């Protein structure tokens, strides 16, 4: 029996992977691959557990492990009772497991489960280059939290920012811990390398197989703002953040109005640069277990931020925000 634990780090396509698994439940089952509920449906009343279905962004079927990791031992105890499960692969995925795996208790627990039950355990994660990650988190806050600051102001507190710091801190910790537990199969991949076929790559990494006839994720499960959309929302958020929060997610549910993504330059990251450099160094060691040259340097996206680019669209957002606010 094999158990695959997917650490769904922020902004690395976890929703798309979960949606892919949920959409292909029957086909996966035919290949002896399970993406199961951890708890009964009366507790989590959604088809196939906490999987993302029809673009709904939830926390994956592995979310209960984040709340109580000892559940995994109980799950294994139940599964090994049935011989039919002994040749199956069970996949659990959650965005919340990054923090869990930065704790040595988790690794000790997994090693004990693997050795005492003769269960193969594989851990899979994807990491993003530093600047694209920060840029993606920035647009996420513009879209959902009324963010209106310049990018450099937004990331000025990265070391203490609860939204940004974990991604940079936990992966280096995981690197150190993984070296102490060679009996566990640990694989980390660069998101930028595989993002075009992310779900299919995950399935191959998790099961060493490909399946014919799988349904791809339905579009972009959680797409980022484009250049024009970002400028518009920043202007709107400056004067009417409540309205910005209300319509941000609705904008990205529609087809993109332009094809240019937000890009950030090395000069924009300011005081966060030392932390980013440590992160890049750790990523180079983590990916494929070696000093991988493919991990992007900090200046891998040399274009300037959209924050200064489309002033007319920015002003239009402010105008509409003021107009609606004044009209109330």
Residues 128-175 pLDDT 10s: 877 778 888 888 889 888 998 877 778 776 667 777 777 777 877 887
CA count, 13 A, side-chain hemisphere, 171: 32
pLDDT score, position 306: 37
Burial class (CB in 10 A: 0-12, 13-18, 19+), 118: exposed
- All domains in the chain, ordered by first residue: 2-129+163-207 (3.40.50), 227-327 (no CATH)
Q: Which residues does 165 contact at the CB level (< 8 Å), separation at least 6?
A: 158, 159, 275
Nearest by Cα to 7 from 125, 176, 170: 125
| 302: phi then psi, degrees, rounded to nearest 5 | -80, -5
Token pair for 174: 């995981």
CA distance 186 to 4: 10
Question: Residue 5's beta-bridge partner residues?
Answer: 92, 123
Structure confidence at residue 220 (pLDDT)? 55
pLDDT in tens, the chain (328 residues): 999 999 988 888 888 898 888 888 888 989 999 988 776 543 333 434 444 344 444 567 887 888 888 889 988 998 999 999 999 999 999 888 888 998 999 999 999 999 999 999 999 998 887 777 888 888 888 988 899 887 777 877 666 777 777 777 787 788 788 889 989 998 888 888 888 889 899 999 999 887 767 776 665 556 778 888 888 888 899 999 999 898 888 887 788 777 676 666 556 666 667 767 776 776 666 664 444 444 444 444 433 333 434 666 667 777 677 777 765 5
pLDDT at 32: 93
From the list 4, 99, 120, the residue with the least C-alpha distance to 61 is 4
């Amino acid at each position: 029996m094999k158990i695959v634990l997917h650490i769904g780090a922020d902004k690395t396509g976890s929703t798309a992977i979960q949606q892919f698994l949920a959409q292909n439940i029957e086909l996966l089952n035919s290949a002896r691959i399970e993406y199961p509920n951890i708890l009964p449906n009366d507790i989590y009343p959604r088809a196939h557990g906490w999987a993302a279905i029809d673009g709904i962004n939830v926390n994956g079927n592995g979310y209960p492990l984040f709340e109580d990791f000892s559940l995994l031992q109980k799950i294994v105890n139940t599964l090994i009772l049935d011989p039919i499960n002994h040749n199956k692969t069970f996949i659990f995925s959650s965005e919340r497991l990054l923090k869990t795996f930065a704790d040595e208790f988790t690794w000790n627990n997994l090693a004990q489960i693997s050795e005492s039950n003769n269960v193969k355990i594989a851990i899979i994660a994807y990491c993003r280059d530093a600047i694209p990650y920060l840029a993606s988190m920035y647009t996420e806050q513009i879209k959902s939290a009324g963010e209106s600051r310049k990018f450099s102001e937004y990331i000025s507190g990265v070391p203490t920012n609860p939204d940004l710091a974990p991604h940079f801190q936990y992966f280096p910790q995981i690197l150190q811990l993984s070296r102490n537990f060679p009996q566990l199969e640990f694989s980390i991949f660069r998101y930028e390398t595989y993002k075009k076929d992310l779900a299919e790559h995950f399935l191959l990494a998790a099961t060493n197989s490909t399946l014919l006839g799988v349904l791809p994720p339905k579009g972009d499960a959680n797409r980022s703002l484009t250049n024009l959309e970002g400028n518009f929302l920043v202007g709107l958020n400056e004067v009417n953040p409540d309205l910005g929060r209300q319509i941000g997610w609705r904008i990205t549910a529609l087809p993109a109005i332009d094809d240019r993504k937000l890009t950030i330059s090395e000069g924009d990251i300011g005081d966060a640069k030392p932390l980013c450099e440590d992160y890049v160094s750790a990523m180079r060691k983590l990916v494929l277990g070696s000093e991988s040259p493919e991990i992007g340097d900090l200046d891998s996206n040399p274009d300037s931020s959209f924050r200064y680019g489309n002033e007319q669209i920015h002003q239009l957002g402010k105008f509409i925000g003021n107009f609606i606010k004044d009209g109330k």
